Amino acid sequence: MKKADSHDPKNKISLKKRPGAREDIFVDKGQDPHVPKNLYVTPKKKRLPPWLIPLSIIVLLLLAVFVLLPALLSDVDVNEPIATEPPTVTEPEIPHAGQGDRAVLKRTSAFLFEEPDKASPHICELLLNEELVIRDTSRRDWLGVELADGISGYVERDALTADTSSLQEENAVMKVIIRDPFKRVMSHARGGTLLIEAPMGTVLYADYHNSGLVRVRLPEGEQGWMNTQGVFLLEVDQDLPLSEDFAQSFISTAIAFENSPHVPGGLTRRGVSTSGIVRLSAFLNGLELPRTVEQLMNVGTAVNLPQTSAQPAIMYLRPGDLVFFHKKSDAGSLDRMALCLNEDRLLLSLHNKSSMQLIDFDSREALELSERIMEVRRLAPGNE
């Protein structure tokens, strides 16, 4: 028998094996079972590795997600406005701020400082879109400014913009005043991204109104959308009317600030002062009041409380009265102010508390303050 050529893959390979006494092996009848026979193995055909097909599928899926799908979507405008949205206008070029120029606040809020230093005392807090005049540009990070009521101080330069287009009443359809603690202004009428939060008391102008939505003008030529819940909608040249029951409405607005964080000069729910509460609560009920404690000591009419030993002077206060207390060591120096509320309580900040507090007239703190009353002013608008 010829030897198989090991170099030819078509030839069978002979394997020599001794015979064994196994009944399950078929034996040719014509062959002696005791004679060694040849066994043959056919060479195994070449096949693809088992991992190659799954890997190919994964690669194809990745190509579809990261290459084909973005190419298909590139022809679709995902920011296409809905039917209620009119065409947007071109944003104006932002001018440079100079001495004597008008400017507006472009942040949610910012503090007016006594000096160009964050460690200096707060004078008051400014709100989004509030107007001011630039008086000093000599510092790199600060601008000296003057407010409409004559108060002067310093604001961080990057909080302001000289683009005052958001203050223009021309082509506006209504005035929007925020009465919620904060109102979200979005990039699109239905959803979009958050552009900014407008705090309570912010005044904006809308150039479009439809289906419970308004489009408002923001500083630096931006436009944003908000729904009409939690806002006052007025004519462009209209101011909020005086509430019919001003005293009760004023108190109801102010009491919502209980437990809000206390920040000197603060004017938002994230940090507020007693003077800030009084100013906001009066404004939302149709009465303009000044910003600072010193200025508030001159509003309304002065009230002379009885000086008797029958009961503490604080017991003669009426709801809505503004009460000013002097320091323990100096009767001529102002210490703090409080607002008298219903049910014989005061709303104020205490030195040992970090939030606005309500205290009863017969509490230890109130009785101690009763001996330091410096001034009482009664607003009573419409009844003077």
Q: Is the pLDDT of residue 118 over 90?
A: yes
Q: What is the spatial distance between Cα 111 and Cα 94, in angstroms, rounded to a whole number?
A: 23
What are the tens digits of pLDDT across the range 141-164? Answer: 999 999 999 999 999 999 999 999
The yes-or-no answer to whether 166-234 and 240-384 have a common fold is no
Residue 1: per-residue pLDDT = 45
Predicted confidence band of residue 55 (pLDDT cuts 50, 70, 90): confident
Domain covering 240-384 in this structure, CATH number? 3.90.1720.10
Are residues 122 and 115 in contact, defined by beta-carbon separation less than 8 angstroms?
no
Choose between 231 and 78: higher pLDDT. 231
Task: Tell me what percent of the residues of the chain surpass a pLDDT of 90.
Answer: 67
Q: What is the spatial distance between Cα 190 and Cα 82, in angstroms, rounded to a whole number?
A: 8
Of the options 3.40.1650.10, 1.10.357.10, 2.40.50.140, 2.30.30.40, the CATH number for the domain spanning 102-162:
2.30.30.40
Q: Is the pLDDT of residue 53 over 90?
A: no
Predicted confidence band of residue 62 (pLDDT cuts 50, 70, 90): confident
The domain spans of the chain are 102-162, 166-234, 240-384
What are the tens digits of pLDDT across the range 299-351? Answer: 999 999 887 777 899 999 999 999 999 999 999 999 999 999 987 999 999 98
* Joined tokens for residue 210: 């439809």
Average pLDDT value for residue range 234-238: 96
Q: How far is CA 43 from the centre of its chain?
A: 74
**Domain 166-234 class, CATH top level:** mainly beta
Q: Is the pLDDT of residue 285 over 80?
A: yes
Q: What is the spatial distance between Cα 360 and Cα 344, in angstroms, rounded to a whole number?
A: 6
Predicted confidence band of residue 80 (pLDDT cuts 50, 70, 90): very low
Which of 65-74, 81-90, 178-187, 240-249 has the weakest average pLDDT? 81-90
Compute the mean pLDDT over every residue in the chain, rounded to the nearest whole number.
84
